[in-house]
A and B are shown apart, each in its own frame.
Chain A
Amino acid sequence: MNIRLAAESLHSCSGCEISLLNIGEALIPLLNRLQLVHLPLLMDHKYSDPAGSETEISIPKAEIGLVSGGVANTHQLQVLEAMRKSCTTLVALGTCGTHGGIPAMINEWPMADALQTVFSTVTTEPVDVPNQDTPPMLDRVYSLDEKTDVDIFLPGCPPDPTIIARVLEDFLDGLTPEPVTKSVCDTCPTRRTGKSERKLLRFTANARFDSNESTASMQCLLEQGFLCMGPVTAGGCGHQGEPACIRARVPCRGCYGPVRHQDNQMLGMLNGLVSQGIDFKTIIDRKSMLRFSGAHGRLRPLKEKKRAS
């Protein structure tokens, strides 16, 4: 029997689905073994069951369900619940689903304030925040596991196509995909000298490297003084033996989220920097270290007291 697959995009940018399609030729043998029963990105499918009630969301039964994006409004929450009901194994695809991702940066502000700001910038015509025919927003952006049980976490913004393919293959072969335990640094070939800058540089200048040589001859970017999030970010990006950004000679931005699911990227990174003798007060935009993992209450509005000052 074919394994049935359902996929949904919630508070997402479709990048994760593009990555799924980017599996390329390796996708064709997979498709022979998978039966796509629901995938709004590729096929038209109505939510409401013609025989059932108009409002109920129904999604066909499937053995595996991929959900990209977090949860930000009531409609997305209903779709997520319907996916959970229909799918035996639920996969959070992408960092938005596992840790809130980029959209969860809005959690730094109360939702009402954020909407007000978005719909009344100085350069646009003033309009009311739309409230008709749009599902109401939740109080903040949630990761999937804050709202339902998730069986497999597949972070990455987007996850590398080879990782998605491997998880699907494992699943078809009846294996449990192995969770990531390595950090980006663990998979990084750069040269560590043990001597690092005591000051952080802004990435307005290029790193020092010789473009004719491999990355293995480049000194670790963190040692060079650039804020490379490799130590606190789950590895897995870049299937060519080196992390994707490091291959491009730029510091890791942290897009796979923390190494262990419950870790806090900002706290971990600052702790490391402080232990190295770097003055953390020089990092004025520290909250940006949570740019990919702001769900789970990691990013939250500052209390009134502090914002007023």
Chain B
Amino acid sequence: MRPEHKPKIIAFCCNWCGYAAADLAGIQRIQYPDSLRIIRVMCSGMVHPEMVLHALNKGADGVMIIGCQLGECHYIDGNEKAMARAELIDELLEDFGFENDRFLITRLSSSESEQFARTVGTMHKRVLELGPNPNSNQDNGDTP
């Protein structure tokens, strides 16, 4: 029998909204899948596509970027940049051998803790359906 697949999802959360929403979800003790590994960034606009690809190359099963609602970015238009890049990531992941469903960008305000948990749940399900990242146990020649 195949060992149970325990996915790992990396989430880049912006300090002001995504991370605050995750924090609130914690305070309110809202349950969400334990596959999530949060990396706090100052703005979703600073997440270079290379970081998303690096996470996948190193074996993450899914990657999320969680930023602020449009118009609410603390750095004016960081989340708009992130959206433009997300479109690029969506398109490019297949070039590098990954299903584009392994990536998800979403926008939350800092009070939307329920929404946060729901989105993580959706992503968790998606990744379970996709199965393990083909690179999870091998070095992909992505030199350190």
Contact = CB atoms under 8 A, between A and B. Distances in A.
A303 B94 contact: yes
Interface string B34-61: 0000000000000011100100010000
Nearest to B52: A267
Contacts of B6: none
Contacts of A261: 143
A287 interface: yes
Contact of B91 (A145, A268, A280, A300): A280
A167 B9 CA distance: 44
Most B CB within 10 A of own CB, among A263, A267, A286? A267
A275 interface: yes
Interface stretch (B12-20, B23-31, B80-88, B103-111): B80-88
B94 A302 contact: yes
Contacts of B49: 267, 270-271
Contacts of A18: none
Contact of B143 (A262, A280, A281): A262
Interface in B62-84: 81, 84
B92 interface: yes
Contact of A264 (B50, B85, B91): B50
A143 B53 CA distance: 20
Interface in A221-275: 261-264, 266-268, 270-271, 274-275
Contacts of B84: 274-275, 277
B3 interface: no
A297 B143 CA distance: 10
Contacts of B141: 146, 295-297
Nearest to B96: A300
B50 to A, nearest CB: 5
Interface of B: 48-50, 53, 57, 81, 84-85, 87-88, 91-92, 94-97, 140-144
